[in-house]
Amino acid sequence: MIYKINEEIKPFEVVVDKYCSFYYAGASGDFNPIHIDEEFAKKAGLPGIILQGLCTMAFVYRAVVKESNPEMLKSLKVRFRNIVRPLDRISINGIIAKIENHMTTIDLSVKNQKSEDVITNAQAIVSHKE
């Protein structure tokens, strides 16, 4: 898909399944107890189980590639800011920041249901030349 500078991408929203951290642990091998053991997570000073950061990043990936060929994604950068918990609602919005040499740079905003940033400085670069 071809975009124009300052054009917004289609917003993407996901409600984190209450078992998402368990599924992701199995898929990724990240069995850190803060992701799968409620009691352990609370003893560690957290409000409960938290989602793996890379799983949250995977939601950003989905938001970027949902309308194009996943192979066109050339780069994805994020900075983790806040935790994501099961049943949180994550909203991902993006705006086209730059188009140059058949590459489109998308600046992304990732917030939870409280409008808190969960990821900052998110940026994707997508090829628009097949």
Could you tell me the residue ranges of all domains in the chain?
Answer: 12-127
Residue with tokens 């929203």: 13
Show the tokens assigned to 108: 């992304």
How far is it, in rounded angstroms, from Cα 35 to Cα 28? 12
Flag whether pLDDT at 48 surpasses 90.
yes
CATH of 12-127 among 1.10.530.10, 1.20.58.110, 3.10.129.10, 3.40.50.1100:
3.10.129.10
- How does residue 100 score in pLDDT terms, banded at 50, 70 and 90? very high
Residue 67: count other Cβ atoms within 10 Å of its Cβ.
12
How far is it, in rounded angstroms, from Cα 43 to Cα 31? 17
Decide: 32 and 46 in contact? Cβ < 8 Å.
Answer: no
Q: What percent of the chain has pLDDT over 70?
A: 97
The pLDDT score that the predictor gives to residue 30 is: 94
Flag whether pLDDT at 108 surpasses 70.
yes
Amino acid at 98: K
**Mean pLDDT within 66-93:** 93
The pLDDT score that the predictor gives to residue 68 is: 74
How far is it, in rounded angstroms, from Cα 98 to Cα 5? 6
The pLDDT score that the predictor gives to residue 1 is: 61
**Mean pLDDT within 102-112:** 96
Show the tokens assigned to 58: 């995977």
**Mean pLDDT within 30-48:** 97
**Mean pLDDT within 47-56:** 96
The pLDDT score that the predictor gives to residue 130 is: 55
Helix ranges (H only) for the chain are: 20-28, 33-36, 38-43, 53-65
